[in-house]
Chains A and B, each alone.
Chain A
């Protein structure tokens, strides 16, 4: 469980996030939405420890994470970043293996258990066939899947995703987010609880497919929080995105689409 209490964070003296309170239970995917500059990425960065916290507390299973070392924190929280500046000379397996970094000794040696976890992460993301390929030879969607596998290999309770699909084709977006959904909701008979997932996303139409809850961030504050039906409403979104929006609902499937009212 990830718990954020009264979090204030920013760059230099400038506060980007103010008084954020948010709880994400295990087995729950929370979609983080909001216009550009609302602080989505800043929130992901603050929770992952890259950005210092000005005020407030972040806890994972009652352990305060902002005072932990990088190594300890990386055993609790993993991040799937956007595909950018991927060193192309690494093979898929090598990249996924880097997820074991917080568990290695000072010589950087992999135990057989580490190797096994890397194999499992490759299998879970259907990357076994690509394992020896170089990153440079993969498509954007495949590269993003490798970063997801790397986060899986980190074996954490909490997983953060920073706009992982924003530059992917529709098929890759759906594919990736379905996988994320499955992580949080493992099939019957699997021992462990699902991850607690916080995913910053841009696309308002796809998030119903994978998210259990939605958090709307506007100008560094939480403007709305709840189920997709509770948050994805015309009056709330139109105000947040400062453009008249129309929510079209399909009465048969219950699915909805959000379009600008033009």
Chain B
């Protein structure tokens, strides 16, 4: 196996594995045989064991598979945009969550929800758009606050991100307190415990994430060049301003769509690209697609844990990622202080 293909094969295998584990595990365990039956009965109208496979098929196709696909897409979106933000800001700590984009999207989404809960078709369209607006606003404010002259220093970026993030979260909480009755539901959503089920959210999120990820995948080479700084990138022929704008737009769009449908899930965008960079290097032409694969696999596995660890109750997946991610963040912080490998 060639050296370039190996990481893709490993992560691809991991993702398929995660997908199987995710659809098998839950309050009712589905064996591989039952999965197979559910598939064939659906495909061929299955004459044998209709009763039994009927239940399995319902669980599989109405509940677990759509949820798995949704989280797969969201994981890819968060890790892919995390990698893109890290490349753009030349900062290993940039993450959609840390730079305020996710909180901005959350605020936008909650604003939209207080007007309309996302069960209707109009609601499904309005929430991601509002989330996108909130996220864009947040990233504009953060970069404006953090900018010194022509550059965006690390510390400023994180500090501005924290400030904007806190502010957006506070307003979000305020809105939720006012929206009586829906409080718990919105809370669960905000922590990344999707209250949505079925295929509608999958179809809703799909175009945004596909478009955003496709654009991000084209930015690998420009982001590589930009690791040498804006000035050298420009002298090497990169239209830096346009690349920056397109990167922010695409990364923010994917993040916002992800947040709109499953809530604020932190640290996936930080952890995944970081580990992959340590394993297979920082070439963004590889890092971006690998991060998407890795993020999808990680979020699927985390969600499986969230659904099963204190079953039948579910823990919002955002809590699990934060429990794992926050210590990791501190480790990265210490590491980047002691050894400047970036």
Contact = CB atoms under 8 A, between A and B. Distances in A.
> Are these two chains actual partners, yes or no?
yes
Interface of A: 45, 48-50, 69-75, 77-79, 81, 85-90, 94, 98-99, 101-102, 104, 106-108, 136, 150, 154
Contacts of A102: 236-237
A87 B237 contact: no
Given A70-B234, A154-B236, A108 B341 contact: no
B239 A90 contact: no
B236 A99 contact: yes
Contacts of A48: 234-235
A48 B238 CA distance: 13
B interface residue count range (under 10 / 10 to 19 / 20 to 34 / 35 or more): 20 to 34
Contact of A98 (B225, B231, B282): B225
Given A87-B342, A89-B282, A136-B341, A74 B225 contact: no
Contact of A79 (B235, B238, B282): B235
A81 B221 contact: no
Nearest to B240: A70
B237 A70 contact: yes
B221 A101 contact: yes
18 contacts: A48-B234, A49-B234, A50-B234, A70-B234, A70-B237, A73-B237, A79-B235, A81-B232, A87-B227, A88-B342, A89-B341, A90-B282, A94-B224, A94-B283, A98-B224, A106-B218, A107-B218, A136-B341
Given A90-B282, A94-B283, A102-B237, A85 B228 contact: yes
B204 interface: no
Nearest to A88: B341
Contacts of B236: 74, 98-99, 101-102, 150, 154
Nearest to A84: B229
Contacts of A49: 234-235
Contacts of B240: 70
A106 B285 CA distance: 13
A77 B237 CA distance: 10
B234 A101 contact: no
A78 B340 CA distance: 28
Nearest to A89: B282
Contact of B228 (A70, A71, A98): A98
Contacts of B235: 48-50, 74, 77-79, 81
- Among A75, A101, A104, A150, the one with the most B-chain Cβ atoms within 10 Å of its Cβ is A101
B94 to A, nearest CB: 15
Contacts of A90: 227, 282
B220 interface: yes
Interface in B206-248: 218, 220-222, 224-225, 227-229, 231-232, 234-240
Given A48-B235, A88-B342, A101 B225 contact: yes
A69 B241 CA distance: 12
B281 interface: yes
Contacts of A71: 237, 239
A78 B240 CA distance: 16
A94 B228 CA distance: 12
Nearest to A153: B236
B105 to A, nearest CB: 29
A86 B232 CA distance: 11
Given A49-B235, A98-B228, A150-B236, 16 more contacts: A50-B235, A70-B234, A73-B237, A74-B235, A81-B232, A86-B228, A87-B227, A87-B342, A89-B341, A94-B283, A98-B224, A98-B225, A99-B236, A102-B236, A104-B221, A154-B236
Contacts of B228: 85-87, 98
Contact of B231 (A45, A75, A154): A45
Contact of A81 (B218, B231, B238): B231
Given A85-B228, A101-B238, A108 B220 contact: yes
Contacts of B222: 108
Contacts of B234: 48-50, 70
Interface in B224-277: 224-225, 227-229, 231-232, 234-240, 277
A69 B231 contact: no
Given A90-B282, A104-B221, A85 B238 contact: no
B3 to A, nearest CB: 12
Interface in B56-95: none
A85 B229 contact: yes
Contacts of A101: 221, 225, 236-238
Contacts of B237: 70-75, 101-102
A81 B239 CA distance: 18
Interface string B317-342: 00000000000000000000000111
A172 B342 CA distance: 26
A101 B227 CA distance: 13
Contacts of B229: 85
- Among B221, B232, B235, B236, the one with the most A-chain Cβ atoms within 10 Å of its Cβ is B235
Nearest to A73: B237
